Amino acid sequence: RKEVEQDPGPFNVPEGATVAFNCTYSNSASQSFFWYRQDCRKEPKLLMSVYSSGNEDGRFTAQLNRASQYISLLIRDSKLSDSATYLCVGRGFGNEKLTFGTGTRLTIIP
């Protein structure tokens, strides 16, 4: 089983809709989580960190469920510019190795 698993998609969503994806992780020692976005043939860029209490940044909301070992990303009022691959990332305490999911591809349709 992969340490971090994501549905690869693709998710094709109409502009303005709300979309959510989950990511599961197998290492219960994982302490820190992030969502990165990656545009085609570009570098991953940090979208947001994920805090235990959940956090929001504009149209984006991230949640962490330690009991069920998953994190989620919710995008409200989706824009065409949200089209990208979203990478779920985890890191264990004191461990500098980040574990990346393979990404979920999202396409926003006009």
The neighbouring-strand residues paired with 49 are 34
Q: Do 47 and 37 touch, CB atoms closer than 8 A?
A: yes
Count CA atoms closer than 13 A to 48's CA, side-chain side.
Answer: 19
Decide: 49 and 32 in contact? Cβ < 8 Å.
yes
Q: Would you say 40 or 67 has its CB closer to another protein?
A: 40
Region 77-96 residues binding another protein, contact defined as CB under 8 A: 87, 91-96
CB of 101 to another protein, least distance (A): 6
Kindly identify the residues of this chain, within the stretch 17-76, that bind another protein according to CB under 8 A.
Answer: 31-32, 34, 41-46, 49
Least Å distance, CB 58 to another protein, is 18
Give the other-Cβ count within 10 Å of 70's Cβ.
16
**69/58 Cα distance (integer angstroms):** 25
- How far apart are CB 100 and another protein at their closest, in Å? 4
Cβ nearer to another protein, comparing 96 with 110: 96
Q: What length does the chain have?
A: 110
We find the least distance from the C-beta atom of residue 20 to another protein, in angstroms, to be 21
Residues that bind another protein (CB under 8 A): 8, 31-32, 34, 41-46, 49, 87, 91-98, 100-103
